[in-house]
Amino acid sequence: MAKISSFDADRPSVRVLVVDDYEPFRRFVCSTLRKISELQIVGEASDGLEAVRKADELQPDLIVLDIGLPTLNGIEVIRRLRKLCPKCKVLVVSQQSSADVMQEVFSLGGLGYVVKANAGSELLPAVAAVRQGIQFINSGLSAHNSTHLTVPQGCDSLCHQAPPSSALRKREITRSHEAQFYLDDESFLVGFSCFIEAALKAGTAVIAIAHESHRESLFQQLHARGVDIAAAIEQGRYLPLDVDATLSTFMVNDLPDPARVFKVGSDLIAKAAKAATGKHPRVAACGECAPILWAQGKADAAIQLEHLWDETAKRYDVDILCGYILKSFQREQESHIYQKICAEHSAVYSQ
């Protein structure tokens, strides 16, 4: 997985084709992309057939594509591009928020999906992720397919977005290390509780590393959902850990020590795995270690820790969800850090 995450003026230009039939929105997309000197708008199109023709002629690196196009819809455009422009990456920016449409986009090879209403804040982060081959799914979307887990009945749209149950990949995946960016504590708790509930119901053991207040709220929410969380703790299938105490076990001089991170991680995973049930016992982990480091102004430490978590996910075949409560000004003023953190994950979600 690519680890270069921020736009770099020294890198070759990224050639972009923008496709949308509504001219004012197409102008908005172009003007937003031009804020990044690395991005070069090489063409525009207002309908599907024109998009296919220009993509074949220009062979862009990236296509920002609407779905509701005249003459040929965006889905059919993506299907034709697989033969005509196989190396170009596709980011869909659409008014539609249908899970079926989004699933079709990803099944055809699209890498990103952004709802137009959120394009102002999510377009550039989505472009940064897609350029690195990282799947990006923006808020306002819900997913109904699961790679490993089944989304519990009765969960709202936030729950549907909680990885790994929201991973819309047709290909086989053995692990996931995903980031979810939440607007506030409430959405954070809903997202994490849905992740935990889905895992426990699938027989997966869960490690949750969070602040005391979050751990208590998660216990209450899970109990309210009908999850026997007390029994899960007693059986060792749910391991709630304090984030500050956990950080203290592997932080050295304000940076994560790789050997200690792997030791702590492997010990926890081994302990949880013994309690996992189900046909194919698995371990899942959710936490806010790296997010806390970023919030404390230790951006380098947060990025390094995310990289180590990614290596842990690969090494032990676990699913990891990192939860960030992120204000819009953070994303704007520290976009380079945001992009680097995104690059350390197999998929990025925003609520």
DSSP per-residue string spanning 228-255: -HHHHHHHTSEEEEEHHHHHHTTEETTE
Per cent of the chain over pLDDT 70 is 83
Cβ contacts of 231 within 8 Å, gap of 6 or more: none
Distance of alpha carbon 313 from alpha carbon 221, whole angstroms: 27
- Domain parsing of the chain, residue ranges: 14-137, 157-350
Given this model, what pLDDT does residue 153 score? 41
- The predicted model gives 120-126 an average pLDDT of 83
User: What tokens does 152 get?
Assistant: 């519990």
Given this model, what pLDDT does residue 157 score? 37
Within 10 angstroms of residue 21's Cβ, the number of other Cβ atoms is 17
Distance of alpha carbon 210 from alpha carbon 207, whole angstroms: 10
Given this model, what pLDDT does residue 36 score? 86
Please tell me which residue, 3 or 125, carries the higher pLDDT value.
125
Please tell me which residue, 180 or 142, carries the higher pLDDT value.
180
Helices (H), the chain: 23-33, 48-58, 74-84, 99-107, 119-131, 157-160, 185-201, 212-224, 229-235, 243-248, 258-273, 289-295, 299-316, 328-333, 335-343
Least trusted range by pLDDT, from 16-20, 79-83, 168-172: 168-172
Please tell me which residue, 293 or 158, carries the higher pLDDT value.
293
Please give, one letter per residue, the 3-state secondary structure of 34-78.
CCCCCEEEEEEECCHHHHHHHHHHHCCCEEEECCCCCCCCHHHHH
Given this model, what pLDDT does residue 3 score? 33
Given this model, what pLDDT does residue 52 score? 96
Q: Are 308 and 234 contacting, i.e. CB atoms less than 8 angstroms apart?
A: no
Q: Tell me the angle at which helices 119-131 and 23-33 cross, rounded to the nearest 10 degrees.
A: 60
Residue 260 has what DSSP assignment? H
pLDDT band, residue 12 (cuts 50/70/90): low
Homologous superfamily (CATH) of 157-350 is P-loop containing nucleotide triphosphate hydrolases (3.40.50.300)
Q: Is residue 60's pLDDT more than 90?
A: yes
186, 216, 217, 264, 295 from 212: Cα distances, Å: 15, 6, 9, 20, 17
- CATH, domain 14-137, list 3.40.50.300, 3.40.50.2300, 3.40.50.10320, 1.25.40.10: 3.40.50.2300
Q: What is the pLDDT of residues 290-335, one digit of tens each?
A: 999 998 989 999 999 999 998 888 888 899 999 998 764 455 557 7
Please tell me which residue, 100 or 205, carries the higher pLDDT value.
205
Could you tell me which of 346, 351, 350 has the C-alpha nearest to residue 135?
A: 346
Q: Is residue 138's pLDDT more than 80?
A: no
Q: Supply the mean pLDDT for the chain.
A: 82
Q: Is residue 203's pLDDT more than 70?
A: yes
Q: Is residue 160's pLDDT more than 60?
A: no
Least trusted range by pLDDT, from 68-82, 209-223, 262-276, 326-340: 326-340
Q: Is residue 171's pLDDT more than 60?
A: no
First-residue to last-residue Cα distance in the chain:
24
Bridge-based pairing of strands 89-94 and 62-65 is parallel
Cβ contacts of 177 within 8 Å, gap of 6 or more: 309, 310, 313, 319, 320, 322, 344, 345, 346
Distance of alpha carbon 339 from alpha carbon 342, whole angstroms: 5
Q: What is the pLDDT of residues 212-260, one digit of tens each?
A: 999 999 999 999 989 999 999 999 999 999 999 999 999 999 999 999 9
Do 157-350 and 14-137 fall under one CATH topology? Answer: yes
Question: Which strands make up the sheet holding 205-210, listed edge to edge?
Answer: 39-45, 14-19, 62-65, 89-94, 112-115, 135-137, 347-350, 176-182, 319-325, 283-287, 205-210, 238-242
Residue 164, preceding peptide bond in cis (omega within 30° of 0): yes
